[in-house]
Structure 1
């Protein structure tokens, strides 16, 4: 078990003051985690110590080591970011906070939580790339000790590691991290397959030792005779997970996949890389179309090397990588190598290097995605695609994923170039925007200021930047159209109540926005345009506030919205309870943006409140006019003329039967439901009293259950 003294013994490259800060960070972490234990039963402090140890092997700086020791303090103890700021300063506190998960927030799903945490980590690493390097070291140690978790958690962590953290490590050029994370993820997910493939790989490598040594000897002697400085010639160990994936994808056997040798050659200078290439091509014949020059055209993660495939002894292919020692260090440890080595004769800022390529793309995507889940899906696509290299007319090289189209190229140049493009030229030939590009092509975009994206473009582009930019354009366009529509609807609603734009004061609008809990007038327009609010209701609420601004006072109760019966489509009357003037009522804002009036004792109101639909306090106008439908239920004798008697009573009271349904309950009674048109609750009461006097009527109510459950006297109320 790693202890702090062993870790400290490896910090000889730090200054004395830096060592004191590391000592302080360890003591702080030890105290914070003193009574905590890992799932394996070990003291929790062993985990931050191990994470720090992984970073020390990369010769990382003092702040990174301190942050590694403290990385779980905010998340798992009572200490806050402020505590770390006061003890260690802002730089270390920001690193620790960047690695910490989002806490004290409820999420709908684990996927949403994962996406939110990843977005938070990305924003932190955009400011300081050391955040993700610490996180990768954290994940590496967690994967090394994953056996302490329950099986379901092991599988989830392994999948997340392979889907997200391995590609990130590759993107940052941290090959050793990526390979070990892949191996551990594979071993955890498929332990039996890992064991079988591991044994098979060991056996085949044992049998190949002699032949590989013979090839390496020939390389060494020829290079030495040409006075090339040789740092290393070594056979590369095959990655078990990549072998497994290749077997699945190509449906090939293990022996077919492994029927190839892999050798890496390290020399002193870039010029010697190309000299070595010529020498080995003289020893063994190169295979056509299998040469790649990543020195002249580095990968996004700054990886540089010459790749070639030779036809070796017994016609077995030999994969050869040729690079300088510096390139090899960068290939193994990636961006972390910038702490150790000079590039171009001077030390470069590690964050500036990171921001030049992939991370810059991620930040652009992050700005234009609607939610964290969409962002995470875009990142998974963007993490490690196969790449092509194409040229602008001025000779600038752009890197795009394989199967990228001319439209993807336009968005890679600039978002506005993408939005306004109308055609493309590839090698001076006009091509459709949907044309797929291949490496080496020169692409020119033809644009027009009057052009705009089309919805079908989302089916053409493959890059996350292009997809997110197009979606963002349509989202903004939809918002602008909704605001314009909402403004027109509200203006029309104000005109109907004889209020012009000149009559509307800024103070009254501000009071209205506060009343509606809306941040701005633009947001209000958008709500109306999208159908989330009724323009008629908003105009009436403005009228109330305009007439009496004191209504906004917390001491003054909200004035109800007056229902006059002439609101048209803006107000509907519920058919579940059929409110009529005189009934106590409540308004519910429906999804179709109309205001639906219910009786206060309507059973449906409880359901609407549970679904958090907005309610509006309303009341009837004293001068309300018009006829309103109301449903009544009756239990009557099954004799000739009973329904005719009821119809006569209704007609005598200047009412009309809009609808009528009859059900036979038994041999002697009928259950009758009818919808009457009445002027008010008192009008309905007069009709009810007259119907009740009829001998053929046993019961009458506005509630069906009253009629069924209580035969006899008139009950249930109106």
Structure 2
């Protein structure tokens, strides 16, 4: 039986129920226009296509949006899927509705295709359209929700999977970012059903078993919570909800725990009149039932970045069940349900708090900054995904300002979250008054003071540990600028020499023909292209002096490339099982394999076998070439044969104090290690960061040395380096 299309009068009644002053004429005209435009078009389900925009409008009405947004929902597919033109939309509904419809039309082309650059470019359009009017995103999310609800009608399994993956990667995180928790969870769960049907079925079976065992337990707990609040004079609305299957699965995977260990499969919400009553209710809950240590979170004093506020606690509650309780005001509850749509309602009613709105849109401003700083569309897409997906940690500036960061964020992430200039000039930091390395991971509640230099100098090695998209994009931008300057100087020197061979002087005017032919912007771009090696000086000379014979053109100096240190040679006789007899062998310098490591060999024509540890990141490059892999293992040396020395590499952060380096060398020597190389990679007034290559017998020998180094007061941190 096919679902009935919502009638015009039903949609109107739904809107007027929460907005009696809604523009009825606009809604009626949009309904009729969309119905006529889509005509006899059909969906994959066989339903009239017009049922889709009407359902989208119904979802938007459920968010209690204004008539303009709902009219946009009715019209959102007319420009793309019908013969309707922008002029018609503007003539019938005004320029504002046209801008919204046009914005949604552009967003509808975001697809996960093999051409990731196109997807990334469309994602940029999404961001820009959102920044102009957030209702564009709300309409698109409603559109995606209805498409996901009807996804099973699409016959092509590859297409269903692509749409589900796109929903999980882009639309669900966006819904989360604007605080629309219910919508986000439904999108995730619908995508989960397509991407991992068996896992979802397993969770559903466990939930069904839980319901059958508990019977009306939820109702009994709600009743008990209501009575407890009433006994203490608190007027409260209490509800209970069951966690969705995907949320359960994701938490089980993230925390590596079993279904039975989850404490918040059932969560109960207590809604009270104001903030003081929230804390009063919390006190009553904790007086009545024992709380579970470490399970209290106060999102009222430190709201989430998407605007969510509440007090969370877990108690051994009624019927001796472990339950999560969330305590909120009515406004907090509305924002938890509808996110930015609720912010918009409160703003319309004159109740919106400027600071709440600032928090709500800060993430959007940060993504716009990343857009400005990132040249590569794919890089932009990855950085924005980083910003959308990660959980948060809250830290404070010395003035008490709150900074929200991704989980496992470092001091450098904090510096860039304050301002890009602060990040670029960071040379050290104090966390809670104690000097720490810049790579230090921050925890909730840390107070961070950034120590700065006068000259911007981000370190490229920071990219190895920063977590936020903003920090990565700022560091990459600085590196690109530095590289461009170096390439420009090199290119200018090469072209100056080449022009001198022809008794000419290189200048902007002289390079105008090359700028035009090579389709570059200016002379600096020509210098950079030559410096990078993308264009040769010979080519530029031939463009500028077209009559020059090739044999008379200058011979370009060849700039030697720095030697690659990806491999180190070894002498024969090292006992490894699985090698091809007579084939040359090298140990990879990226992972420095040692006896005791699990190892594999990669065969390279003309080089022999390069040996890597089984967890080396470089091996990903050969995943599609199984014919090049050799399964190897260390063999014990023959009786009486002396074990060969092998080089292991450690990464170390050393306090910048007298005798620190001496302490390091002493510890290594005492444990029979031999330092073969030492390289300082970063130096600040407080710390040295360095790599130390140590000749050892095997993994156990290196582990003993690392343990001894960790016990040395002069050393802040030490670990085996791979990469």
**Per the alignment, do residues 76 and 446 of structure 1 end up closer, same or farther by CA in structure 2, a change over 3 Å counting?**
same
Q: Is the 8 A contact 2:242 2:265 kept in 1?
A: no
3-state SS, counterpart of residue 445 of structure 1: strand
2:194 matched residue in structure 1: 188
Distance 1:94 1:32 in 2: 19
Distance between the aligned counterparts of 1:483 and 1:374, measured in 2? Answer: 24
Q: Is residue 2:211 matched to residue 1:205?
A: yes
Do residues 375 (structure 1) and 380 (structure 2) align? yes
Work out whether residues 75 and 101 of structure 1, in 8 Å CA contact, stay in contact via their aligned partners in 2: no
Deviates more, 1:431-440 or 1:515-524: 515-524
Contact map agreement 2:267 2:323 (CA 8 A) in 1? yes
Alignment of 1:641-660 (within 5 A): none
- Match of residue 578 from structure 1: none
Q: Give the distance between the partners of 2:262 and 2:293, measured in 1 at CA.
A: 19
Q: 1:105 to 1:487 in 2, by over 3 A?
A: farther
Alignment of 1:65-104 (within 5 A): 65-101=70-106
Task: Name the counterpart of 1:562.
Answer: 549
Change (3 A) 1:207 1:234: farther
CA deviation after TM superposition for structure 1 residue 103, in Å: 9.4
Query: Contact 2:161–2:195 at 8 Å: present in 1 too?
Result: yes
Measured against aligned partners, the alpha-carbon deviations of 1:397-416 in whole angstroms (never above 9, x if no partner) come to 11111211111111111111
Q: Which residue of 2 aligns with 1:524?
A: 526
Q: Say whether the 8 Å CA contact 2:178–2:360 is kept in structure 1.
A: no
Can you list the C-alpha shifts for 1:104-132, whole angstroms capped at 9, x where unaligned? 99998254433332221111101111111
Distance 2:478 2:28 in 1: 52
Q: Distance in 1 between matches of 2:398 and 2:376?
A: 36
- The Cα shift of 1:84 comes to 3.0
Does the 8 Å contact 1:335/1:354 carry over to 2? no
| Aligned-partner SS, 1:234 | strand
Are 1:270 and 2:268 an aligned pair? no
Please provide the CA RMSD for this pair: 3.0
Q: Measure the CA separation in 2 of the matches of 1:203 and 1:261.
A: 14
1:345, CA displacement in angstroms?
5.5
Residue 315 of structure 1, CA deviation:
4.5
Structure 2 equivalent of residue 299 of structure 1: 304
Aligned equivalents of 1:285, 1:443: Cα separation in 2: 34
Q: 1:224 aligns with which of 230, 238, 243?
A: 230
With over 3 angstroms needed to count, the CA separation of the structure-2 counterparts of 1:236 and 1:488, relative to structure 1, is same
Other structure's SS at 1:399 match: strand
Equivalent residue, structure 2, for 1:7: 11
Question: Aligned pairs, how many?
Answer: 552
Give the structure 2 partner of residue 542 of structure 1.
544
Change (3 A) 1:288 1:516: closer
Are the equivalent residues in 2 in contact too, given 1:73–1:79 (CA < 8 A)?
Answer: yes
More moved, 363-372 vs 409-418: 363-372
Rate the CA distance shift 1:313–1:48 in 2: closer, same or farther, 3 A.
closer
Residue among 462, 465, 476 paired with 1:460: 465
TM-score normalised to the size of structure 2?
A: 0.71
| Whole-Å separation in 1 of the counterparts to 2:82 and 2:389 | 36
Deviations 1:215-263, CA, capped at 9 Å, x for gaps: 4344323322332221x11222221111222334455443443786421
Q: CA deviation at 1:524?
A: 1.7
What are structure 2's unaligned runs of at least 5 residues? 559-723
For 1:247-646, list aligned pairs within 5 A: 247-257=252-262, 261-313=266-318, 315-341=320-346, 346-347=351-352, 353=358, 356-500=361-505, 506=509, 509-543=511-545, 561-565=548-552, 567-569=554-556
Q: Cα–Cα, structure 1 residues 127 and 343, in superposed 2: closer, same or farther, change >3 Å?
A: closer
Deviation at 1:430, TM superposition (A): 0.8
- Counterpart for residue 574 of structure 1: none
Counterparts of 1:106-125 in structure 2, within 5 Å, are 109-125=114-130
- Relative distance call for 1:110 and 1:102 in structure 2 (3 A) is farther
Using the alignment, how far apart are the partners of 1:94 and 1:349 within structure 2?
26
Residue aligned with 1:9, SS: helix
Q: Which residue of 2 aligns with 1:26?
A: 31
Q: Write the distance in 1 (CA, Å) between the matches of 2:63 and 2:111.
A: 37
Separation (CA, whole Å) in 2 of partners of 1:397 and 1:152: 44
> 1:697 maps to which residue?
none
Cα 1:570–1:29 shift into 2, 3 Å: farther
Give the drift of 1:313.
Answer: 4.8
For the 8 Å contact 1:102–1:116, the answer to whether it is kept is no
Deviations 1:558-616 (Å, cap 9, x if unpaired)? xx553344532489xxxxxxxxxxxxxxxxxxxxxxxxxxxxxxxxxxxxxxxxxxxxx
Tell me the secondary structure at the aligned position of residue 404 of structure 2.
strand
Contact 2:263 2:314 in 1 (8 A): no
Partners of 1:102 and 1:220 in 2: how far apart?
Answer: 45
Q: 2:305 touches 2:360 (CA, 8 Å); kept in 1? A: no
1:377 CA displacement: 2.1
**Higher-Rg member (1/2):** 1
Contact 1:51/1:69 (8 A) holds in 2 = yes
Counterpart CA distance in 1 for 2:232 and 2:513 is 86
Q: 1:529-563 CA distances to partner (integer Å, 9 max, x unpaired)?
A: 2222233442453345xxxxxxxxxxxxxxx5533
Secondary structure at the aligned position of 2:269 is classed as strand
The alpha carbon displacement at 1:283 in A equals 0.5
Question: Equivalent of 2:137, from 132, 138, 145?
Answer: 132
Deviation at 1:53, TM superposition (A): 1.0
Contact 2:22 2:66 in 1 (8 A): no
Instruction: Give a deviation string over 1:256-277, Cα, whole Å, max 9, x none.
Output: 4378642110111111000001
Partner of 1:356, secondary structure, is helix
Task: Flag the 1:484–1:75 CA change in 2: closer, same or farther, 3 A.
Answer: farther
Structure 1 counterpart of 2:679? none
**Deviation at 1:319?**
0.9
The SS at the match of 1:452 is: coil
Counterpart Cα distance in 2 of 1:154 and 1:286: 44
Q: SS where residue 341 of structure 1 aligns?
A: helix
1:37-52 matches, within 5 Å, as 37-52=42-57
- Give the 3-state SS of the residue equivalent to 2:166 in structure 1: helix
Alignment match, 2:173:
167
Return closer, same or farther for 1:123/1:354 CA change in 2, 3 Å cut-off. farther
